[in-house]
Structure 1
Amino acid sequence: MARLSELAAAWPPSLRHSRRRRVTAIAASVAVWSGLLAGCTVGPDYVPPKPVMPASYTEPISSTSSAAKQPQTSDDAWWKGFGDATLDSLIADALHSAPDLAVAEARIREARALRGIAGADQYPSADAGAQYDRTHGSANVPVGVPPGGLGPGANGNLWQAGFDASWEIDVFGGKRRGVEAADASYQAIVADRGDVELTLLAEIARNYIELRGVQRQLAVARSNLSIQQDSLSLTRSQFDAGLASRLDVLRAQAQVSDTEAAIPTFEANERASIYRIGALIGHPPEQLLAQLDTPQAIPAPVADVPVGLPSDLLRRRPDIRAAERRIAAANARIGVAQADLYPHFSLTGVAGLESLNASTFLTAPSRYFSIGPSINWLIFDAGKVRFEMHAEEARTDQAAAAYQRIVLGALRDVETALVSYAQSKVRHERLAAEVTADREAVTIATRLYKQGLNDFLSVLDAERSLYAADDKLAQSERDTALSLVALYKALGGGWHASDSLRMFEHNINNVGQNFQ
């Protein structure tokens, strides 16, 4: 650009001001003409879908926890509802280093760049260039036949410099529809990133709860193993005293061995859960062993979930927002296709210097220019444009149907999560009562066996029942927490964009402004 400015400044004043009024008049008339037609935008205007949503959920919304003191507010991140500092730390790491989020953010940058390309098509484009040619005439070519037809042995020089510009005036709005489609596609990709984040964080929470659940099962197994080992010692003492049979000892030993055999499986599942969490976060799997190997309680809710109304899903769930934006993008592309039914108007211009001698290259007689409007109209295309329009209309219908399917799926997910969470709490209460009764039964059966008032089989049955109920209670605690994660995810997770997404959008917007 600097060289072109110097070149223009070197032109004589008569050259710089020559024809300026005529060119200005042409440009002004074209601008006025295009301005009058700028409001003409072909294609259907977008009307957002308005799905019919139920007034309330069918399943009752029960309190999250009897220990919950207050409802969770819409400003809280959903995982804060568990009140688990370790889970908070894992999710904070994932928001900074998870590969899945890096892929989604790269797609956002790509979509923003494509939106910039679509917007740039609305503005004029200009090219500049310079060229020097040295030619020598061939004796075997007639004079006037390029490039060697200068005459036998004749030499020639050609000095050229100039620029050309073109501007397709968006009379019928095809390019504006293209920008509209690109905008909607960009917004859909941003919503997709939110869906990726929601899925990722829910998966981390699920694996974390499963980790704590298997640690709880491992603790139950070891606790019951201790009880069973005490029973084995008691049975051996009774056998040595002649008060018990060899069969009782063998039964007690078999029960101990059975419980011991379950422990390695729990330990393997514990490590596998840690490794899965590491892979989701983006850390080497073994890096989290020190942090997560120490058992902790299964996360329990500390606040009630703000379930809200079914209509809230339309703004809460990122997959619904993305689907709605894809309808808008497809609808805009109908106008892009339809614009090809009408003529395309362009304004083109060429200006520069051309001379056979370097000494006269920068003089007024070396100048040349050409400017004027042009029209390009596809008269016959065998119906191709109309077929393209029909294809875009069909894609819009597909996007609308997909939107409806996603909305119905969201309602199904919430209703399913509500009933699953409610019933898992009921099951947990029943199992807790069963464990209390089984624990007392073990105590009574052991005391009666010591007194010789009952056989050892009743002790074994009581211990087996206690271990089974204890293990089911641990699984129930895990399943209740997993049901709550499923409910959070069904509701759209965080009701607002996460801090990481807001920061990413802020950064990408700043980058975009730097290129404008």
Structure 2
Amino acid sequence: MIMRIPGVFVIVLIFCSGCHPVGPNYQPPSPDLPASWHNSLPSDKTGAGEKKVERTDWWMLFDDPLLTGLIQKACNDNLSVKEAVFKLQEARAQRGIGQANLHPTLDASYGSTVSRSYGETGGGNENKLFRAGLDAGWEIDLFGGNRKTVEKLTANLDASEENLNDARISIAAEVALNYIDVRVGQERLAVAMENLAIQEETWELNQARYQAGLSDELSVYQASYNLEGTRARIPALNVSLEASLNRMAVLTGNYPGSLHEKLATTSPIPILPESIAIGIPSDTVRARPDIRVAERNLAARTAAVGEATADRYPKLTLSGSLGLSSLTFGNLFDLDNRNYSYGPHISIPIFNAGAIRKNIAVQTAVQEQALVQYETAVLNAIEEVENAVKAYEKENERFLILTKATSAARQAAKLSQKKYESGLIDFSVVLDSQRSLLTFQDQMVESRGDVAANLVRLYKAMGGGSVFMENMNQSDAHQ
């Protein structure tokens, strides 16, 4: 038997296929950005470079294979990254649920019932009924509510991808910063040990001079407290180094202590590139994943307004069933026992005490919040880059000054030691020169580390490495 769908249903379906979703259409924001940076580097005065930072795997510029390997490991094995991967998978599944709601549903069913009726005499007949059938349903997305839901879930999925990208960029920067801390800690420890050896020789010299009657006991005590003061610095340096090593292990998804052997060999603080291209503000806005997250959140909140608006309009559902029923199982599949039903179901909101209207107002307010959050993300990004540029530039200047000061202090320490041994100056001059040498050497090492760390922060502020991370994320997107 051929079932004919009434013409009115055909008209409804044609009408539905041409309906446009209600609610606002999303337009990506276009922030009014400055054409160039307020702060710039001497190597990039035009604000543009041959190689845009977002396409630079900046950690490669340090030319340190061990650092590169640690960053790549952390980008795969860090627990925060793994959590972001699972959140991405969750968002993808959520979108799949939303897309499924755009399609018809079909369910199969089978059942049997037994009934008995009792009369006044206490007797009765037992009746059995067997049923089997198919039930179909389809909510026609008349005013685009379900399509807006899919649009919202798609934007949420995009935001999850950018969150994963952001997590990897942040972890890469944190690994680099801790690696720099490790190398700075090792070098500061080496400086302290070097000065300790010099001061031990000075103390032994003063002991010998005192015993020979060439100097007084005061110089021995002065050499002693200078020596012990330097020795007292070493435990604190070891504690700081241990913390950096343990943090590095955790960042790469390992237990504390697992990287001690790998990082035991002292290496120089990562070498800096000769020039840096910081691009222009619009490059940063395009590159930073946190800004793209904010933009995708705005898109999702805009779609949610349309989703809420669709609740004001009628909902049309087409349903139908085809079944078989029989008093005996053997006759269940006899075509004479078939039955069917079909028809539309229309639901029209009439009174809900303003709940739908208020929900639209709620979603609109949330959309406005998302816009403000996007604008805040852009402003914060520009601020971070400006601050990072200035910090890198000025710390580099400070490092050059400390390098000169350290060189002068080293010469002063050598000359004062010679003059003291010749009896031309008091021992207090030697003490001052040795303390100054240790101070300047230590500050120079810290400053060199700060220059490297500020460069890492600058690259992170500009969204550096985002293209590398996006390529890395593609494998996660298909898991």
TM-score by length of 1: 0.88
**Paired position in structure 1 for 2:15:** 33
**Paired position in structure 1 for 2:98:** 118
**Paired position in structure 1 for 2:186:** 215
For 1:178 and 1:73, the matched residues in 2 are separated by: 36
For 2:234 and 2:54, the matched residues in 1 are separated by: 42
For 1:451 and 1:374, the matched residues in 2 are separated by: 109
Does the 8 A contact of 1:72 with 1:305 survive in 2? no
Aligned equivalent of 1:49, options 14, 26, 29? 29
Deviations 1:152-190 (A, max 9, x none): 320111010001111111111111111111111110111
For 1:126 and 1:26, the matched residues in 2 are separated by: 23
- Residues 144-159 of structure 1 mapped to structure 2, 5 A cutoff: 152-159=123-130
Does the 8 A contact of 1:78 with 1:493 survive in 2? yes
Aligned equivalent of 1:164, options 116, 135, 155? 135
- Residues 393-412 of structure 1 mapped to structure 2, 5 A cutoff: 393-412=364-383
Opposite residue 463 of structure 1, the aligned amino acid is Q
Does the 8 A contact of 1:159 with 1:361 survive in 2? yes
Aligned equivalent of 1:288, options 244, 251, 259? 259
> Is 1:340 aligned to 2:311, yes or no?
yes
1:93 Cα deviation (Å)?
A: 1.3
1:301 Cα deviation (Å)?
A: 1.4
Q: Secondary structure at the match of 1:369?
A: strand
For 2:210 and 2:13, the matched residues in 1 are separated by: 108
Opposite residue 258 of structure 1, the aligned amino acid is G
Aligned equivalent of 1:470, options 441, 444, 469? 441
**Paired position in structure 1 for 2:465:** 494
Of 305-314 and 459-468, deviating more is 305-314
Does the 8 A contact of 1:71 with 1:303 survive in 2? no
> Is 1:197 aligned to 2:160, yes or no?
no
Aligned equivalent of 2:110, options 116, 130, 135? 130
For 1:73 and 1:321, the matched residues in 2 are separated by: 16
**Paired position in structure 1 for 2:65:** 85
Deviations 1:63-122 (A, max 9, x none): 49xxxxx96875431211211111111112112211111100000000011111111111
Opposite residue 134 of structure 1, the aligned amino acid is V
**Paired position in structure 1 for 2:41:** 61
**Paired position in structure 2 for 1:4:** none
For 2:407 and 2:254, the matched residues in 1 are separated by: 42
For 1:267 and 1:243, the matched residues in 2 are separated by: 38
Opposite residue 448 of structure 2, the aligned amino acid is E
Q: Secondary structure at the match of 2:412?
A: helix
For 1:381 and 1:393, the matched residues in 2 are separated by: 19
> Is 1:263 aligned to 2:234, yes or no?
yes
The answer to which structure, 1 or 2, has the higher relative contact order (CA under 8 A, 6+ apart) is 2
1:30 Cα deviation (Å)?
A: 4.3
Does the 8 A contact of 2:23 with 2:306 survive in 1? yes
Does the 8 A contact of 1:77 with 1:494 survive in 2? yes
- Pair 74,359 (structure 1): closer, same or farther in 2 beyond 3 Å: closer
Q: Secondary structure at the match of 1:137?
A: strand
Deviations 1:439-498 (A, max 9, x none): 110111111111111111111110011011111101101111111111011001214142
For 1:396 and 1:238, the matched residues in 2 are separated by: 81
Opposite residue 473 of structure 2, the aligned amino acid is L
**Paired position in structure 1 for 2:47:** none
For 2:18 and 2:447, the matched residues in 1 are separated by: 70
1:25 Cα deviation (Å)?
A: 6.2
Identity of aligned residues (%): 36
Q: Secondary structure at the match of 1:329?
A: helix
1:203 Cα deviation (Å)?
A: 1.1
For 2:96 and 2:316, the matched residues in 1 are separated by: 22
For 1:212 and 1:253, the matched residues in 2 are separated by: 30
1:33 Cα deviation (Å)?
A: 3.1
> Is 1:504 aligned to 2:472, yes or no?
no
Does the 8 A contact of 1:71 with 1:304 survive in 2? no
Q: Secondary structure at the match of 1:283?
A: coil
For 1:71 and 1:321, the matched residues in 2 are separated by: 21
Of 258-267 and 151-160, deviating more is 151-160
- Runs (5+) with no aligned partner, structure 1: 1-17, 65-69, 142-150, 509-516
Does the 8 A contact of 2:133 with 2:324 survive in 1? yes
For 2:120 and 2:190, the matched residues in 1 are separated by: 100
Deviations 1:384-422 (A, max 9, x none): 111111101000000000111111000010000000000
Does the 8 A contact of 2:22 with 2:144 survive in 1? yes
Q: Secondary structure at the match of 1:19?
A: coil
- Pair 455,463 (structure 1): closer, same or farther in 2 beyond 3 Å: same
- Pair 280,495 (structure 1): closer, same or farther in 2 beyond 3 Å: closer
**Paired position in structure 1 for 2:297:** 326
For 1:460 and 1:377, the matched residues in 2 are separated by: 91
**Paired position in structure 2 for 1:102:** 82
Opposite residue 182 of structure 2, the aligned amino acid is L
RMSD over aligned Cα atoms = 1.8
**Paired position in structure 2 for 1:10:** none
The alignment covers a number of residue pairs equal to 473
